[in-house]
Structure formats: C-alpha cells, structure tokens
Amino acid sequence: MRTKAKVVGIGERKSGVSKKGRNYDFTPFHLIYPSKDTEGFAAACANVDQSILDAIPMPKINDEVEIFCHFYNGSMTIDGIL
C-alpha cells in the first residue's frame, strides 16, 4: 500500500543482536494516516529499519511522508519512505 502519513512520534533507535542471534537496527515511528476502514485517520506504530532511514533525510515530528507499507497480523511494516 502506498499512502501519505504524518509522523506524530519517533522512538529511540534500537540495535543489537536478538537471543536467536539475529541482528536488528530500527527506529519506532508513530504515524497517522488516512484509511478506508476508519472515519478520520488511523494510527500505527511501525519499526522502520535503519537501512530505509539511511537513504533519506531523517523525518521529524509533524512531517508528512509518503510511505510504502503492508500489514501482517494487524501490524504495519514500512517497506520504504519516499
């Protein structure tokens, strides 16, 4: 899905190695976005991989960004930010 979203919160960057030995490096983003299933706006918290953020200027609170995302088990996954 491609949509515009407003950044309403940015969490602390988290990186390391999980108990299963997998590397992780992400920043949690809190977003609001238009949704056909919601009157007004829907809200989501999505972990944005650092490789996506390295390719663009870091978004700030109240910025509107265009995102590519998908949902899995009710959670938003950000695939890219334009």
Would you list the DSSP string of 11-79?
---EEEE-TTS-EEEEEEEEEEEE-TTSSSEEEEEEEEEHHHHHTSPPP-TT-EEEEEEEEETTEEEEE
d(CA 53, CA 49): 7
pLDDT of residue 64: 97
- The average pLDDT across 54-59 equals 95
C-alpha distances (whole Å) from 74 to each of 4, 70, 77, 80 are 19, 10, 10, 18
pLDDT at 77: 94
User: 4-32 pLDDT, tens per residue?
Assistant: 999 999 999 999 999 999 999 999 999 99
Reported as a pLDDT band with limits 50, 70 and 90, residue 52 is very high
